[in-house]
Amino acid sequence: MVSNKYVLLIVLLVLLLIPLVFSNESEALIVNGGSSKVRVVVGYRDESSRQNLLRILGVSPMKEIRDLKVLVVEIPESLITRVKSLPGIRYVEKDVEARAFGISDYYGDIKWNMYMIGITDVWDYYYQYYGRYTFGRGVVVAVLDTGIDYTHPDLYGRVAYCIRTTGSTTYRGTSLSNCMDRNGHGTHVAGIIAATINGAGVAGVAPNVTLIAVKVLYDSGSGSVTDIAEGIVEAVKAGAYILSMSLGSSSDSSVLRDASNWAYQQGAIQVVAAGNSGDGNPSTNNVNYPARYPWVIAVAAVDSNGNTPSWSSDGPEVDVAAPGVNILSTYPNKKYAYLSGTSMATPHVTGVVAVIEAMRYAAGKSWLGFDAIYKVLTSTAYDLGSPGFDVYTGYGLVDAYSAVQYALSLP
């Protein structure tokens, strides 16, 4: 027979073990809950409740912020309510996903073409490092065209200087009315480069650049190669080392060739429209001048799907492509308009070049001349169509983000 003393001892042991049995059962319920696990933030009141929480959960915290009395743990979602009821717990909530708010999240004036060339990725990622330089600050771009409506709300304050070579006398100065655009073409081009990001209208690729309006074409939209050649020289002399030329001629010209080559020798980067003379025949070269010159960047057009429109000039001189079909941009008299052409594709590339140079300057690096910029743009372009170079899109769609990455990696 078992003595009363042993019976009493057994009863006492059972009573002592009951809380542990139930406690272990509770722990098993929390750790091994049936639903999928989620990351939660648990706020506790004091060190005692922290220790109790860790003991009951039976898991190591993924993160702990002692100053805020917070633990981050992973538990079954079905047990969140149970954890909330534990003593000393202030709150339990899911550790929801967060993301950086980019520039492009805020403004409705950023259209599809900006996303397509990847400039929005440049703004969103690099702004934290380079600020306004991410938008081309400190860089001067000359727009050789029909002039610019400098009073347009999206371009106001961007045009700093005027050069007019049309007519019998050449004007150079800050009286911008001498370069007023009464055609629309030049203002449209300027907007693609430099329209302000302000939530209204449209946004340009490099909205912080300084523009020089170089009126080399009459209000009719045409002019002489001599006026264009003079405009090239005067723009470089005025301090513009990025020239955007959405113009051209089917015939070569000695004076145009000499002026363009002179600008190249001075270190200028010329971005030129390939032309709108495409015929769809890869064996026919219909690229215009000065886009045919080897020291310029010749730009073809693609639509929003990356397809080449039939009218975009093709030939072995085409270097890259950019959006050029139904592009919304600034237009005279505070208006906006949709236009198509390699004229619209060209300023996209011009803007990318301006952003690259501005960000290199901000990084304490030297100016990239034509040869280096050419390599940056062509080696990072997004290949379209059949693999490799083709006469329709050159090396592919300009990729601003990849180009900036590469350019910043250079000494």
Q: Which 3 state secondary structure label does DSSP give 249?
A: strand
Query: Burial of 318 by CB count in 10 Å (0-12 exposed, 13-18 middle, 19+ buried)?
Result: buried
Give the span between the Cα atoms of 247 and 144, in whole angstroms: 8
- The answer to whether 312 is a known catalytic residue is no
What lies within 8 Å, CB to CB, of 174 at 6+ separation is 160, 161, 162
Token pair listed for 395: 């090396």
Q: List beta partners, residue 166.
A: none
Q: How far apart are CA 13 and CA 160, in angstroms?
A: 92
d(CA 382, CA 404): 14
The span from the CA of 261 to the CA of 256, in Å, is: 8
Q: Which residues contact 120 (CB under 8 A, 6 or more apart)?
A: 102, 103, 104, 110, 114
Rounded CA-CA distance 268/241 in Å is: 4
* Residue 406 main-chain phi, psi, to 5 deg: -65, -45
How far is 402 from 117, CA to CA, in rounded Å? 10
343 is annotated as an active-site residue: yes
What is the spatial distance between Cα 351 and Cα 272, in angstroms, rounded to a whole number? 12
Nearest to 382 by CA among 121, 208, 103, 99: 121
**Which pair of tokens denotes residue 288?**
């215009």
Q: Quick one: DSSP state of residue 145?
A: E
Catalytic residue, chosen from 49, 109, 121, 145, is 145
Catalytically annotated residue among 49, 152, 154, 185? 185
Write out the two tokens for 281: 């025949």
Gyration radius (Cα) of the chain, Å? 32
Closest to 278 in 3D by CA, of 113, 134, 392: 392
User: Do residues 279 and 254 touch, judged by C-beta distance below 8 A?
Assistant: no
Q: Which of 49, 277, 313, 343 is catalytic?
A: 343
Q: Locate 82 and state its tokens.
A: 């149970």
Going across the sheet that includes 63-65, the strands are 63-65, 70-76, 37-44, 89-94
Active site residues: 145, 185, 343
